[in-house]
Structure 1
Amino acid sequence: MNRTIAARNRTVSLILLCLLGLVSWGPAEADVRLPAILSDNMVLQGGDTVSLWGWADPKEEIEIRMSWSNAVPQIQADDDGAWTFRMAAPPFGGPYEVTFKAANTITVKNILVGEVWVCSGQSNMQWTVQNSADAEQEIAAARYPKIRLFSVDRQVADTPQTDCKGRWVECSPETIPGFSAVAYFFGRRLRKDLELPIGLIHTSWGGTPAEAWTSGPMLRSHPEFEPIIKRYEDAVANYPKALVQYRENVKKWEEDAEKAKAEGKPAPRRPNAPLGPGHHHTPSGLYNAMIAPLTPYAIQGAIWYQGESNAGRAYQYRELFPTMIRDWWQSWGRNNFPFLFVQLANYLAVKDEPGESAWAELREAQLMTLELPNTGMAVTIDIGDADDIHPRNKQDVGKRLALWALARTYFKDMVYSGPLYSFMNIRGDEIVLHFQHVGGGLVAQGGGPLKGFAVAGADRKFVWAEARIEGETVVVRSEKVAEPVAVRYAWADNPVCNLYNQAGLPASPFRTDGWPGVTADNK
Structure 2
Amino acid sequence: MQFTVSMALNATEEEFDASNHPNIRVFTVALGGSPFEEYDLLGISEPWSVPNADSIGGSPWSYFSAVCWLYGKYLSSHLKYPIGLIASSYEGTRVEAWSAPNVLKKCGVTDVADINDGSDVSGVDPNAASVLWNAMIRPFLNMTIYGAIWYQGESNAAPSKTMNQYNCTFPAMIDDWRDRFHDGSLGESDPLFPFGFVQLAPFRDNDTITTGYTDIRWHQTADYGYVPNDRMKNTFMSVAMDLPDFSSPWQIIHPRDKQDVSMRLCTAGLAVAYNQTQYSTLNGPYPSSVTVGEDGTVQITYDKVLEIRSKSGFEVTCVPANSSSGPDDNSVWFPLPMTSHDNTSVTLNYSQLCLRSREMVVSAIRYAWRESPCPFKQCAVYNKDSGYPGPPFIRFVRQ
Q: Quick check: TM above 0.5?
A: yes
- Cα deviation 1:326-361 (Å, max 9, x = unaligned): 11011101321100000001121233x6x6321111
- Cα deviation 1:4-24 (Å, max 9, x = unaligned): xxxxxxxxxxxxxxxxxxxxx
Mark the CA change 1:274 to 1:158 in structure 2 (over 3 Å): closer, same or farther.
Answer: closer
Residues 442 and 472 in structure 1, CA contact (< 8 A), matched pair in contact too: yes
Indicate the residue corresponding to 2:141 in structure 1.
295
1:465 aligns with 2:336: yes
For residue 9 of structure 2, the aligned residue among 130, 133, 144 is 133
1:332 aligns with 2:216: no
Indicate the residue corresponding to 1:433 in structure 2.
300
What amino acid is aligned across from residue 209 of structure 1 in structure 2?
R
**Superposition pairs of residues 297-336 of structure 1, within 5 angstroms:** 297-312=143-158, 313-333=162-182, 334-336=190-192
What amino acid is aligned across from residue 383 of structure 1 in structure 2?
L
What amino acid is aligned across from residue 475 of structure 1 in structure 2?
T
Shift of 1:272: 6.3
Indicate the residue corresponding to 2:391 in structure 1.
508
**Superposition pairs of residues 36-435 of structure 1, within 5 angstroms:** 125-143=1-19, 144-164=21-41, 165-166=43-44, 167-177=47-57, 178-220=63-105, 222=106, 224-227=108-111, 229=112, 231=114, 273=119, 278-312=124-158, 313-333=162-182, 334-351=190-207, 356-368=210-222, 370=227, 371=229, 372-386=232-246, 388-412=252-276, 413-414=278-279, 415-428=281-294, 429-435=296-302
Mark the CA change 1:274 to 1:401 in structure 2 (over 3 Å): closer, same or farther.
Answer: same
Name the CA distance, whole Å, in 2 between partners of 1:509 and 1:136: 34
Indicate the residue corresponding to 2:381 in structure 1.
499
Shift of 1:471: 3.8
Name the CA distance, whole Å, in 2 between partners of 1:193 and 1:154: 31
Residues 407 and 416 in structure 1, CA contact (< 8 A), matched pair in contact too: no
Shift of 1:307: 0.3
Name the CA distance, whole Å, in 1 between partners of 2:202 and 2:113: 32
Indicate the residue corresponding to 2:327 in structure 1.
none
What amino acid is aligned across from residue 462 of structure 1 in structure 2?
W
Q: Judging by fraction of residues, say which structure has more strand.
A: 1
Q: Specify the SS of the correspondent of 1:175.
A: helix
Name the CA distance, whole Å, in 2 between partners of 1:140 and 1:323: 39
- Cα deviation 1:451-500 (Å, max 9, x = unaligned): 21112221642121112323422222234312433211111111122210
- Cα deviation 1:285-328 (Å, max 9, x = unaligned): 00000000011111110000000011124321011101111110
What amino acid is aligned across from residue 221 of structure 2 in structure 1?
L
What amino acid is aligned across from residue 184 of structure 1 in structure 2?
W
Residues 275 and 282 in structure 1, CA contact (< 8 A), matched pair in contact too: no
Residues 443 and 501 in structure 1, CA contact (< 8 A), matched pair in contact too: yes
Compare CA radii of gyration and give the structure with the larger one: 1
Q: Which runs of 5+ in 1 are unaligned?
A: 1-124, 236-270, 515-523
Q: Specify the SS of the correspondent of 1:218.
A: helix
Name the CA distance, whole Å, in 2 between partners of 1:301 and 1:343: 18
Residues 455 and 476 in structure 1, CA contact (< 8 A), matched pair in contact too: no
What amino acid is aligned across from residue 281 of structure 1 in structure 2?
N
What amino acid is aligned across from residue 450 of structure 1 in structure 2?
K
